[in-house]
Structure 1
């Protein structure tokens, strides 16, 4: 008899919307939600078992409602995702479930990759921590083959810990098509999406860049071959999905691969519209032409700061002038842009943040995200902050959309928060911006989305 596997997005006790989005986690302050990328990828690996998905965040389930659903299914294995914004809440709920259900409990998160010992030693009800969401050795662990498992950290029967070494992996990997039909993709929503329903697709993991505030660059950049991605896209088209969010940390890392993917999408008649993350250093005219022709309409680009000293300190690998050129190029080819900014990086001053706010207006981007600098577990910035006494190593709960947990010396946490709120107001409450958004809307549905987004941002 095949094991019953539950892929679980744990409910939050407040019923707030939290995203666990490729090794990051944060609360949704605006009109957006999508199911966790790691659970989607893992669903393909376990497709030969009896699989059920409960996305308690998407369905806004209470602890009691979610518990009842879990006990009704009575899984042999629960695979869950968590992150820095919610792990205390999530593990509290899972401890309660484990006490009532004799099942294998496996977790996926960046916090487990970088601190497996802490979580295995302090939370004995956890049976294993997934360190590689692309590995078929997850299946080996589930079926009982655990010796020398390279994908999962776990506690042996004698109490000792099995901690896989971080080995070099093949740069190219293939995945079975994820079980998108089990996820509530009809509940996904984003102000960036042009059409509904939309689904998440991950074509690569890790990142070739090594920004010091980010953990993803610590994970080896690996990618799926074009034909493997096309197989998944064809399946999504059969499901009636209209829009794709390519959820790679750096979708545009390889120009050659992305141009080949865009050509294949056109050749196969895949008529999606789509959104993706991009790095300033990777974008050029040729790539933008192919992306636009295959349905691309919005690029999410990490700008972070307007101050070159700050960019260099955190190894961003871009110049402010290059950023301006790329945003102009995106406009030339009809792409909408979302610019990511970080407020409160150690070393910043009030003036460098005001400089960043001014740049957000100058770029004339369509959307802007102003995140609070957070000491992500596994990032170089976190290690520096701990060494400098700016942060306790015990600080493991934080959210880039919430009040800061640390400050870099030049500014207080209160000042950083005020400047972040100022940035949001200055960007989104400009009469010229409001007029531009209204004139570019294509449907009443899009107007409704933006009104709900505004309500969530300014009247939470």
Structure 2
């Protein structure tokens, strides 16, 4: 079959601010699963700067029999528009959607966009391959685990598929089908790698453990080194971002991988994420010696009450400890903070903003609590009837979509801007910015604020 995989056109706030986007690795994994038996092409419309008209020309030229799309919640309207363009060009082309949003809302998705033929739920590689093979051979679809499809006006949800036990069995992403030169921040080209799947934790705002399972599964060190070598030697990527939910969940593996990167002399610089309670001085030192420059911590809040509501299982003191050890090893620390939980008070939000400055992180990311489908926060918002919109474009973590107990939508939006201003526009940060980072932090902060202001003036 001729299969076209598409990351639909979308202009997110992050893309506007940072001027870049990352590779759609999910599509690259799907392509690698079927390319031996089928013709497959990937179009990353975001990276290429394509609009729907451009996509239409590609669809006409390639004439696919199956089109696969992946989209986050805020990108769903863009996915729907792409589907409509494809069906207008060829009403017989089959359309399949995947990703966390459609995994948890298959009926809603097909109601909102009846032109969608199939939905792949959960980890998609094996389900997708079985779907493509079955369509080519005109076999029954009822035995494909993890598949949803329309039949006689009804949505049929086949039983779920369990997570892949040995993730080394999944082929390496088809990087050669992506516009690898397009993934850059300024003059720096970067690559992305996922070395593990699954999360044993249960944070209220995260769907990862539901999408990829509670059991953590990591690639072997050898497999990971092979993939890093491909990115470094074949594509010239020296800057690497590890996209694992928690790169350090198995600390011994994180250290072993860092040691091998150093021994192999890969000459890469990189960043990875960690929970503050899966970090250690040993991990920090190993990462630094292997070329890591930044560790991303999910600190979330400075209020223990809020942390308990989230189900984070950490304390502010533990966050301070982790940041201190990261910086002692010579790593930059980036902290993620979330404000605007349903019963969070203005005082608790102020506590988080103050803590962002106290905890010692070099960079801070602030977002508004957003109830993505499948999360415990989504269930909570539906139960308490505080969800104020199902306009998926608003689910960006920069727009309030819940009715809060103590703050209005305008107040929480203002609190988000205030958080960025109070963190980045301190005299200390401006001085360090000018001395150490040559304006990088300040420029990014100011671009973010300018973008926010422009958005509000539209």
Task: Mark yes or no: TM-score above 0.5.
Answer: yes
What residue number does 1:430 align with?
Answer: 426
What residue number does 2:189 align with?
Answer: 197
Greater shift in the superposed pair: 392-401 or 209-218: 392-401
Q: Is contact 1:29–1:401 with CA below 8 Å preserved after alignment?
A: no
Unaligned runs of 5+ in 1: 19-25
In 2, distance between residues paired with 1:178 and 1:170? Answer: 16
CA change 1:271–1:46 in 2 (3 A) is: farther
**1:453 matches 2:444:** yes
Q: Is contact 2:32–2:174 with CA below 8 Å preserved after alignment?
A: yes
The structure 1 segments of at least 4 consecutive aligned residues displaced by more than 6 Å after TM superposition are: none
What residue number does 1:179 align with?
Answer: 174
**1:140 matches 2:138:** no
Once the two structures are superposed, the pairs formed by residues 10-409 of structure 1 within 5 Å of their partners are: 10-12=8-10, 16-17=11-12, 28-48=16-36, 49-101=38-90, 102-144=92-134, 145=139, 146-156=141-151, 158-174=152-168, 175-190=170-185, 196-219=188-211, 220=213, 221-237=216-232, 238-391=234-387, 394=390, 396-409=392-405
In 1, distance between residues paired with 2:161 and 2:68? Answer: 23
Which of structures 1 and 2 has the larger relative contact order (alpha carbons within 8 angstroms, sep 6+)?
Answer: 1
In 2, distance between residues paired with 1:366 and 1:32? Answer: 21
Q: Is contact 1:338–1:367 with CA below 8 Å preserved after alignment?
A: yes
In 2, distance between residues paired with 1:129 and 1:344? Answer: 32
Q: Is contact 1:106–1:128 with CA below 8 Å preserved after alignment?
A: yes
CA change 1:154–1:229 in 2 (3 A) is: farther
CA change 1:190–1:214 in 2 (3 A) is: farther
Q: Is contact 2:199–2:209 with CA below 8 Å preserved after alignment?
A: yes
1:50-105 Cα shifts (integer Å, max 9, x gaps):
33221111122222122212322222222211122121232023112122123221
Q: Is contact 1:7–1:52 with CA below 8 Å preserved after alignment?
A: yes
In 1, distance between residues paired with 2:61 and 2:31? Answer: 20
Q: Is contact 1:81–1:107 with CA below 8 Å preserved after alignment?
A: yes
Question: How far 1:285 sits from its partner (Å)?
Answer: 1.1
Question: How far 1:29 sits from its partner (Å)?
Answer: 3.4
What residue number does 2:6 align with?
Answer: 8
Q: Is contact 2:251–2:278 with CA below 8 Å preserved after alignment?
A: yes
Q: Is contact 2:342–2:405 with CA below 8 Å preserved after alignment?
A: yes
In 1, distance between residues paired with 2:20 and 2:279? Answer: 26
Structure 2 SS opposite 1:43? helix
Tell me the matched-pair count: 439
Q: Is contact 2:192–2:242 with CA below 8 Å preserved after alignment?
A: yes
In 2, distance between residues paired with 1:346 and 1:414? Answer: 15
Q: Is contact 1:32–1:190 with CA below 8 Å preserved after alignment?
A: yes
Question: How far 1:438 sits from its partner (Å)?
Answer: 2.5
Structure 1 SS opposite 2:47? coil
When normalised by structure 1's length, the TM-score is: 0.89
1:401-438 Cα shifts (integer Å, max 9, x gaps):
43311132111111111111100111111221122122
In 1, distance between residues paired with 2:250 and 2:313? Answer: 16
Q: Is contact 2:28–2:42 with CA below 8 Å preserved after alignment?
A: no
CA change 1:169–1:295 in 2 (3 A) is: same
CA change 1:366–1:440 in 2 (3 A) is: same
Unaligned runs of 5+ in 2: 452-458
Question: How far 1:47 sits from its partner (Å)?
Answer: 3.1
CA change 1:182–1:176 in 2 (3 A) is: same
Structure 1 SS opposite 2:265? coil
Greater shift in the superposed pair: 368-377 or 256-265: 256-265
In 2, distance between residues paired with 1:143 and 1:179? Answer: 19
What residue number does 1:23 align with?
Answer: none
Question: How far 1:240 sits from its partner (Å)?
Answer: 1.2
In 2, distance between residues paired with 1:17 and 1:381? Answer: 23
Structure 2 SS opposite 1:148? coil
In 1, distance between residues paired with 2:33 and 2:312? Answer: 34
Question: How far 1:392 sits from its partner (Å)?
Answer: 5.5
Cα RMSD (Å): 2.3
Structure 1 SS opposite 2:17? coil
Structure richer in helix, relative to its length: 2
In 2, distance between residues paired with 1:81 and 1:346? Answer: 30
1:121-142 Cα shifts (integer Å, max 9, x gaps):
4423212112234532311211
